[in-house]
Structure 1
Amino acid sequence: MSTRRSDGDGIVVIGLGRFGCHLAGSLTRMDREVLAIDHNPDQVQRWSAELDRVVQADSTEEESLRQLGVAGFPRAVVAIGASVEASVLTVLALVELGVPQVWARATSEKHAKILSSVGAHHVIFPEAETGDRVAHLIVSRLLDFIEFGDDFAIATVRVPESLAGRTLLDLRPNERYGVRVVGAKLPGERFRYASDTTVLPQGGVLVVEGGIDQVQRFAGLR
């Protein structure tokens, strides 16, 4: 294994189910120091070859987490989904340890409210968020899509044939379509930030931002 960053930017991932193991793996590939914890010895054994540090422990016990040095990490993610009780007790233990940022996976609105009430700083719904994103991709011509709060999205779309070869100054997409073109690229090339003089490339791809409905309508232009 390569040497990971040890600049105080490490992350604890608790729960090595489907979400937790993918998260821990992604963070490791980003060269982050990751401490992965699971109560199931089979899961620990399975992921010990993939992750730098995987330990078996009862994450609901504050003292167990203390002995593992969890209190020294700036962020922890509770990825437990099978047991609401274990999830909540783990968040509570992390808060008692004083971990500055506690992220927690919720499986329902009620679960989310409980997690927030015991001190989770960020509550996430990975399955719901993924489902929403895939739904947008299925029913539209978007290539990729990220939705933010307050009806705002960033997406990649193919350059509409009717707009190819024209500059952004000429098209004024913000006025006409309610979207802002952030970048553009041709196949095989890197994205470039867009300006008024940017010509929309035939067969190219654009990065656009704006309201969700506006972005989808822009992607549907021919």
Structure 2
Amino acid sequence: MCRHLAYLGPPRPLAELLTDPAHSLYEQSYAPAHAPQQAEAPTVNADGFGIGWYPPGNGAGPVRYRRSVPIWADANLPGLAAVIHSGAVLAAVRAATPGTSHDEAASAPFALGRWLFSHNGSVPRWELLPADTDEPLTAAELLGMEARSDSALLCAMTARRLAVGRPLGEALADVVRRTTTARPTARLNLLMTDGHAIAATRHGNSLWYRAVSDEITVASEPAPDEPGWREVPDHSLLLATTRTTEIEPL
């Protein structure tokens, strides 16, 4: 199932975004509240986690910290999250799709230059997806995939579209449309940021956003103690910066 979050705004400690809030991403790893429609019960997201952030002030990044263990099992994370600050973050906790690899390279976020990419969902028979969508990957694209997983494959499909100059929202929407044509039961919540803008799709799993003052947060599930959360309709594309938020049908 996975759960993910992206934030743009004033630099904050990672702990304030990922571990401290009520029903934080940390808590969603073992107690998610919004199960997919196809699932009978919530899934524990214990197959790894990852955090990507852009260091403030110098234009560097993104920097990633990824592990193949549950987020609650990493004894280093509380100390790191307390001292690392950023105004642009993408993080995820993972529940692996059957047949995918389990090393830390399979944990989002994946990197495409300055872009960070995450997938919340699952694609049945993902290994056959390129052939079934008439979109065979080149040897270079296959070798460039960070992991053997549906999420890494979707990232490679998105990269192909960005490489020929397609706008981010259009690229994500096209990947969702082509994938669901071949795999109608696929769940495809895609999330990307370059540290300046966020793009996200909702297709099958929950997605929320909170735009207040000069910050925007997009997350699989809202923090109940923070006012202003709004649910993104299913089958929608969200495009956001710290100043604007747009939602349109996929």
TM-score scaled by length of structure 1: 0.27
- TM-score normalised to structure 2 length: 0.25
Greater share of strand residues, 1 or 2? 2
More helix by share: 1
Give the structure with higher Rg (CA): 1
